Structure 1
Amino acid sequence: MKVLAAMSGGVDSAVAAARAAEAGHDVTGIHLALSRNPASYRSGARGCCTIEDANDARRAADVIGIPFYVWDLSEEFHEDVVEDFLAEYAAGRTPNPCLRCNEKIKFAAVLDRALALGFDAVATGHYARLRQGTDGQVEMHRAVDDGKDQSYVLGVLDQEQLRHSLFPLGGSTKADVRREAAERGLLVADKPDSHDICFVADGDTSGWLREKLGERAPNTEGAILDEDGTELGRHEGTFGYTIGQRKGLRLGRPAPDGKPRFVLDIEPVSGTVTVGPREHLAVHGLTGIRPRWCGTPPARLRGTVQLRAHGAEHPAVVTVDGDGVEVELLEPAYGIAPGQAAVVYDGTRVVGSATIAATRR
């Protein structure tokens, strides 16, 4: 097969490209230039999307012995990922930019271009497994390494995208991958993993949101209220808070019982943030919109849902009705916010995902 290997500059994508080439595929490496100003994105140990990463990817391609190119998708990334992230926070929701990037950039813009250029598949360094199902469809399953499993952020992929995807690392552990990289002579063998949000240069998401949204957010300041409506403090923008947040509230008075308060609700129109005890964060059900299914959509499924990238699985009953998804959680989940993704599993198999529109307590 002709395979396009997306190479971020990290160890995972380098080993994935090497494995694809070793398997006999005709591999071409590409690095995605996602920043209109690479110096504004992360660098060093927290890196992703930097000039340093592009150079690391190019050196890895040279060692593997495959052609290498840089594709400029900075405009698409800014519009579909960065602007979407800003709009969601301004509306009081909590988005996951990695899912949006996988959906709109890595497995839409890149895959579409790859197929148009005559490639058969795109290979990435994601930790997930693909296998042929009994119905002939391609199934995506959790990775062998639970600590590195990335199936949650891939839950937006549909069947057509999965048919043209390769995840060579799904059956390996991170330790195995680093050891193999060193044996192959790849200089990124010991390069630290990137983490947090790649387009927030210093890691201060609240500060970055305040800078970007301060002038266009509907409320740059407002009240922090207790559940009975008592004002406990003031804030400089609802976009600086997320459901379930405990730290950084800077309240003027402690709770009557002395226990920590958590953000329970965010109302961007009125500019109010409501706080209360942790037990009031319990969510027993949710409504999902914009579902994306990895295969045939289920009508009703008793399985599990994962609600955060590194969160636990929650036993649930999932009911699909047209473009809506209702999830009954069989055990309560805490700190779940609209805008997050609910990824549905049947055992280790990823069924699909939906964006949380509302929660029920």
Structure 2
Amino acid sequence: MAPVSRMSPRRGVTTLLALLFALVTAAAGAVALPEQPDDVLWLCRPDLPADPCRGDLGTTVYRDGQPPEVVRPATGPREVDCFYVYPTVSTELSYSASKEVAPPLRFIAEQQAQRFTQVCDVYAPVYRQRTLLALRSPGSPEQARAAAELAFADVARAWEQYLANDNRGRGVVLIGHSQGTRMLRQLLRERIEPDPAVNARLVSAVLAGGNVVVPRGADVGGDFRTVPLCRERAQTHCALAWSLFGEAPPADARYGVTPTTPEAAPRPYGPGYEVACVNPAAPGSTDEVALHTLVRTGTAPRALGTALPTPPTPWLRPAQRYRAQCAHVGGAHVLLAAPEPGAPPLGPFPDPGWGLHVADLTLPLGDAVETVAAQIDAYRRR
């Protein structure tokens, strides 16, 4: 899930998460959502007039001791599509969300998916996800399983409609975070890999904060049969997957720790497997490297723990910089981040078991976009 930061009087740091958890707690007795039509509804697609995945990408870059610089990323022809599935953000007082295009959906799409329009046309379906209420009050295994099936049915139906009406043989990048990554893991296993023609169009998969599983010491064979982990920046038909932490995860962490039981959607588990980690800034490397952090103006994940300036552009690159490396820490396999000199420490939120989950995509967002750009270029030239 991707909760967003706490409201703060310090300009430049806004959040919804504390409010969302308060709403969830207050609504612990809410009932499940009534049945709704199964029509596909889109949050983002290129022909929508009010598309949160499109917008001004002007960015103010801050560096210590230097005046800020405004840059405007170049965008060329978009010959590849991105299929984005958002994380858990629904504040609805029900176990499964409706198909309303509510403000939290637009908010997270702007934060996570909008930057990818530099390199691709973004399609993002609305789906009846498990809500923040369900996260707070998980219910019975049967209820959780039924909710996961409902959410996946919406994503799979949108995928099939996209293939039938919009794809036209173009390459596709999958992008997900948290619950969105879980949906895409299942989509890749069940709908993409079994279809050779569609599988051949997979440029890459960006699967943040969703516990992609691989055999220990291997790149393929856990969640996926044909899609390995990316080991080079320009490698195609591969997956980028990571869970961000600022310190060693506890043994019961939600992310990065090898699963010991199957989820509602069965997957490999047990001591022969581990959670995948690919550093989006340096696929294939375990060295600590600098991250290219990008933040929407006026917002910042709670994990960053600091106020940010408010520039005239919709985006900013903060002066505080971070580094990260994939590391085995205790029983976990995570993307371990640390501040560069002068940057504030990265605090877990809402507790150590979540690590820096709220910043899984924000902290290395520029790196993820740059790596996807390199993959798209390689896909076009192959």
Structure number, greater radius of gyration? 1
Q: Shorter-normalised TM-score: what interval?
A: under 0.3
Q: TM-score, normalised by structure 2?
A: 0.25
More strand by share: 1
Q: Which of structures 1 and 2 has the larger relative contact order (alpha carbons within 8 angstroms, sep 6+)?
A: 2
